[in-house]
A and B are shown apart, each in its own frame.
Chain A
Amino acid sequence: SQTIHQWPATLVQPVGSPLSLECTVEGTSNPNLYWYRQAAGRGLQLLFYSVGIGQISSEVPQNLSASRPQDRQFILSSKKLLLSDSGFYLCAWSGTSGRGRFFGPGTRLTVL
């Protein structure tokens, strides 16, 4: 069966500091991978998606970036965090048909 991991589970960072969140998927090959953000009381916002190694599409222009160095690894980064970057970051995968999304446990980021 497929499993998706994210770390860290929680993170508190000062404004202006860098960020690196990692996501890995087990039990499937060539998944579509996604980064979502869920701000307090708000819906899921798609940030990035990837259909293959090195292929990244950005949905929302911002100070975040994503990379996919391996088939089942997806990384979300920032060089300088803003207060508005606080939120619940979720990595998800889907099959190549794109149907459905299967989410990891998430990382709760607080920027102070």
Chain B
Amino acid sequence: QKEVEQNSGPLSVPEGAIASLNCTYSDRVSQSFFWYRQYSGKSPELIMSIYSNGDKEDGRFTAQLNKASQYVSLLIRDSQPSDSATYLCAVPLNSGGYQKVTFGTGTKLQVIP
């Protein structure tokens, strides 16, 4: 099992719809989780972090965490064409006091006007 798994997509949604991006992880002791957005040809940008079970909302973005199921998701409400990008899930893994962050391979989102 990969440490961090994401569906590569592409996930296509119409403009104005809710986009749901999913990520599973293997390390049961992971305590923090991150979502990055990467536009084509650009570097990843941190958009959300979540540390406890439940939902965290920031504007049109909601991160959902379920530690029992080892599952984290990102919902994008009222999707816009400008949201079209690859979304990377990242999970720090404890390793000798240094937190090694493992990135998923990303889900490509396409928002259709």
Contact = CB atoms under 8 A, between A and B. Distances in A.
B103 A51 contact: no
Contact of A103 (B32, B43, B104): B43
B42 A43 contact: no
A11 B101 CA distance: 27
Contacts of B101: 46, 98, 100-101
A104 B29 CA distance: 29
B54 interface: no
Nearest to B105: A43
A75 interface: no
Secondary structure of the B contact surface, majority rule: strand
Interface residues of B, number: 20
B85 to A, nearest CB: 14
A108 B101 CA distance: 22
Interface in A38-63: 42-44, 46, 49, 51, 57, 59
A100 B34 CA distance: 7
B45 interface: yes
A100 B49 contact: yes
Interface of A: 42-44, 46, 49, 51, 57, 59, 88, 90, 97-106, 108
5 contacts: A98-B99, A99-B49, A100-B34, A100-B101, A103-B43
